[in-house]
Structure 1
């Protein structure tokens, strides 16, 4: 079985994009490196052959910063099988009034939120891997 692809939106200009990227990197580098990997969304969007080959027909989790769901839509368009969609804007609803930071730097509270967010994504990775092992 190939690794679950966790693909974050680029989200430039808003704290929500930074949160998606940091949560994705925590999952793929620290929490689930044996089970998950990331692919550059910009390469998927532009149709770069290696990136599209990595997602096509593979189990993917998308992590978007806003309701536009750019990552989810782009990955689906490239042939990825999106099994879960996360949005940092939804995560922030659980932390109303908290200053998570800016587009370029997270606050201490922002890092705590990203840690929680990454744990949720990592749990979904485990669930999807177990599901594939049980069905395959």
Structure 2
């Protein structure tokens, strides 16, 4: 069982949402099996299986905009948030870049995705393979 559940915002129609989704996927890849994605739409719709996945684990939310839909809905579903990231805050560190669109990320967008995933993994010490 994974230690963390990662819930990105849906962000349909916005590049920030695309970055949030890709950063969540990349975080799970880099975590060495310590993270699992949970679909925000399932939580919002009240899906009991999705809510059950949040029990007794810590959550990582990645939101595209200040509305914080992922964080708000994880809390409403009873989840405990260990780390909460807003893509819009990360984008402020990279003013003037061209991240792409809601359907296609440019190289700059992928760099932001990697930065977010790396920051989450470093903050929570995820994906470290211990030497034997």
TM-score by length of 1: 0.87
Partner of 1:66: 65
1:84 positional shift:
1.5
The superposition leaves residues 10-42 of structure 1 with CA deviations (integer Å, 9 ceiling, x where unpaired) of 0001000000000000111x2014211110000
* Structure 2 unmatched runs, 5+: 127-132
Partner of 1:35: 34
The superposition leaves residues 63-91 of structure 1 with CA deviations (integer Å, 9 ceiling, x where unpaired) of 00001110000000001001221011001
TM-score by length of 2: 0.90
Q: Which shows bigger deviation, 80-89 or 116-125?
A: 116-125
Aligned partners of 2:32 and 2:53: how far apart in 1?
16
Q: Which shows bigger deviation, 60-69 or 108-117?
A: 108-117
Q: Which runs of 4+ in 1 moved over 4 A?
A: none
Partner of 1:10: 10
User: Residue 2 and residue 110 in structure 1: after superposition, are their counterparts in 2 closer, same or farther (change >3 A)?
Assistant: closer
* Structure 1 unmatched runs, 5+: 128-136
Contact 2:4 2:58 in 1 (8 A): yes
Contact 1:7 1:24 in 2 (8 A): yes
Contact 1:8 1:62 in 2 (8 A): yes
* Superposition RMSD in Å: 1.4
Aligned partners of 2:76 and 2:7: how far apart in 1?
13
How many aligned residue pairs are there? 126
Whichever structure has more helix as a proportion of its residues is 1
